[in-house]
């Protein structure tokens, strides 16, 4: 690995070069694009991001669950360079190329269920979610879409409507796409319902009274919520919803944009619950940072839109396809699903030991290398100020951590799976100190 895998803080964070770049950013870039840390990256490898002032930060965020196989993973770098030399673009809708077909074959093989499948490729998670809805609507001839409390599905017009949280994602950006309805999620820590089937009945009651199956094209759900707070539904919740969808002619869509591709210790998070979705949306972790997303699903559903109905100029760009094939090869050859389980064991063990002595950690949850703590006050109320302060202290000490949650009080950990144990523990030591240092 070109970068030594150690944390190194040699200036204040941000250092002078990053401060100067932030000043230029403020003049040149629209402020709507905010940054978690005011430092500029110049190089990254394994579990380390080096900034413009030569600080080496431990990466516990993977660029929001993207660089699962390690940023610039060797196979990816090689494959993308070779593809760039061969051709950067022809447009798959003009003169197709094999790599797109190979990615489709791979995702048809890797997504849950052994039925006949098809895949279509896009650029972003939001674009793929939109297309899953388009496909479900054409197939069913129905219009309504059900999503859940705390959901995050993206920033386009339809996916803003599907996303729950107003500020900053939706506030002032309306009007939003119609025919999107929200059902209660299973959130065991807050709703106290540990029986997933009972939580599903509560959601289904809302769906049946407020929407009705005869109007409903799709139920779209993140099997483990990402931005909403790494909420793992009670066991049986997803299966009961999927069963209800099947019995009622509704397409069950799993938005695995954040939870997919080995992150949770399974190729897809639905596998932990033996749930087979009709359509699966893949993005973030699939191409090590090159823009690629996909909808994969049952052939009879995917075959519904007519020729020309799906696509886009860049969808399934050859560089992104080369990166995806190399990413998948890396996951499979290097045993990264097992590694995600190991990383998850380390994270859970350390966070649970912390929680045992610190009542401000209300909940430790997640699966594999997608783990979070929910921070609360003495009365159990969300403590966003604490999450912000802990994250800021971690940043100052050279550890990249992200927050999330409807109330902003969740610290989430999404390390790259190639991070070595020593670096991971160093990052968690810093997190522990940062938490201990807060009144
Ligand atoms: C990030 C995310 C999206 C949106 O993906 P983009 O690539 O940012 O458009 C959709 N769904 C989930 C669950 C996500 O985490």
**Can you list the domains of the chain with their CATH numbers?**
16-72+335-436 (3.90.1150.10), 75-333 (3.40.640.10)
Nearest-angstrom CA–CA distance, 43 and 56: 9
Interval between CA 423 and ligand 1 midpoint (Å): 28
Ligand 1 pocket test, pick from 121, 221, 226, 260 with the greatest ligand atom count within 8 Å of Cβ, gives: 226
Query: Contact at 8 Å (CB) between 108 and 123?
Result: no
Q: Which residues pair with 146 in a beta bridge?
A: 181, 219
Interval between CA 153 and ligand 1 midpoint (Å): 5
DSSP 269: G
The secondary structure of 365-417, three-state, reads: EEECCEEEEEEECCCCCECHHHHHHHHHHHHHCCEECEEECCCCCEEEECCCC
Nearest-angstrom CA–CA distance, 56 and 71: 14
The per-residue pLDDT string of the chain (439 residues; one tens digit each, 9 = 90 and over) reads 579 999 999 999 999 999 999 999 999 999 999 999 999 999 999 999 999 999 999 999 999 999 999 999 999 999 999 999 999 999 999 999 999 999 999 999 999 999 999 999 999 999 999 999 999 999 999 999 999 999 999 999 999 999 999 999 999 999 999 999 999 999 999 999 999 999 999 999 999 999 999 999 999 999 999 999 999 999 999 999 999 999 999 999 999 999 999 999 999 999 999 999 999 999 999 999 999 999 999 999 999 999 999 999 999 999 999 999 999 999 999 999 999 999 999 999 999 999 999 999 999 999 999 999 999 999 999 999 999 999 999 999 999 999 999 999 999 999 999 999 999 999 999 999 999 999 8
The answer to whether the CB of 153 is under 6 A from ligand 1 is: yes
User: Counting atoms of ligand 1 from 1, which one is nearest the CA of 256?
Assistant: 13
Helix (H) or strand (E) holding 180: strand 180-183
Nearest-angstrom CA–CA distance, 155 and 170: 8
Q: Find the length of the chain.
A: 439
Nearest to 140 by CA among 304, 320, 327: 304
């Amino acid at each position: 690995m070109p970068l030594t895998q150690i944390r190194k803080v040699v200036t204040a964070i941000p250092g002078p070069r990053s401060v100067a770049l932030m000043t230029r950013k403020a003049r040149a870039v629209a402020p709507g694009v905010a940054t978690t840390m005011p430092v500029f990256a110049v190089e990254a490898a394994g579990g380390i991001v080096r900034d413009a002032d030569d600080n080496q930060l431990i990466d516990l965020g993977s660029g929001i669950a993207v660089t699962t196989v390690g940023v610039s993973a060797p196979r990816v770098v090689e494959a993308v360079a070779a593809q760039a030399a061969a051709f950067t673009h022809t447009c798959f809708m003009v003169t197709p190329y094999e790599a797109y077909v190979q990615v489709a074959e791979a995702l048809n093989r890797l997504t849950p269920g052994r039925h006949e499948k098809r895949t279509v490729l896009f650029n972003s998670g939001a674009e793929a979610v939109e297309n899953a809805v388009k496909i479900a609507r054409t197939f069913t001839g129905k219009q309504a879409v059900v999503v859940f409390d705390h959901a995050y599905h993206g920033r386009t017009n339809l996916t803003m409507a599907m996303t729950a949280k107003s500020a900053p994602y939706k506030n002032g950006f309306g009007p939003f796409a119609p025919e999107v309805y929200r059902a209660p999620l299973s959130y065991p820590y807050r709703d106290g319902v540990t029986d997933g089937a009972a939580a599903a009945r509560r959601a289904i009651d809302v769906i049946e009274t407020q929407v009705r199956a005869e109007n409903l094209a799709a139920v779209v759900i993140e099997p483990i919520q990402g931005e909403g707070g790494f909420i793992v539904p009670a066991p049986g919740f997803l299966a009961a919803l999927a069963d209800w969808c099947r019995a009622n002619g509704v397409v069950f869509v799993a938005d695995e944009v954040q939870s997919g591709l080995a992150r949770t210790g399974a190729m897809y998070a639905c596998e932990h619950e033996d749930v087979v979705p009709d359509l699966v949306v893949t993005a973030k972790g699939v191409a090590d940072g090159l823009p690629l997303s996909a909808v994969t699903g049952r052939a009879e559903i995917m075959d519904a839109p007519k020729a020309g109905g799906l696509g886009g100029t860049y969808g399934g760009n050859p560089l992104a396809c080369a990166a995806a094939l190399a990413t998948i090869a890396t996951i499979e050859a290097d045993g990264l699903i097992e590694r995600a389980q190991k990383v998850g064991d380390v994270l859970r063990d350390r966070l649970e030991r912390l929680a045992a002595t610190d009542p401000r950690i209300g909940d430790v949850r997640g699966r594999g290398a997608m783990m979070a703590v929910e921070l609360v006050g003495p009365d159990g109320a969300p403590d966003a100020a604490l999450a912000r302060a802990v994250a800021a202290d971690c940043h100052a000490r050279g550890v990249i951590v992200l927050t999330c949650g409807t109330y902003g009080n969740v610290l989430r950990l999404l390390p790259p799976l190639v991070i070595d144990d020593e670096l991971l523990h160093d990052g968690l030591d810093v997190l522990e100190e940062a938490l201990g240092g807060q009144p």
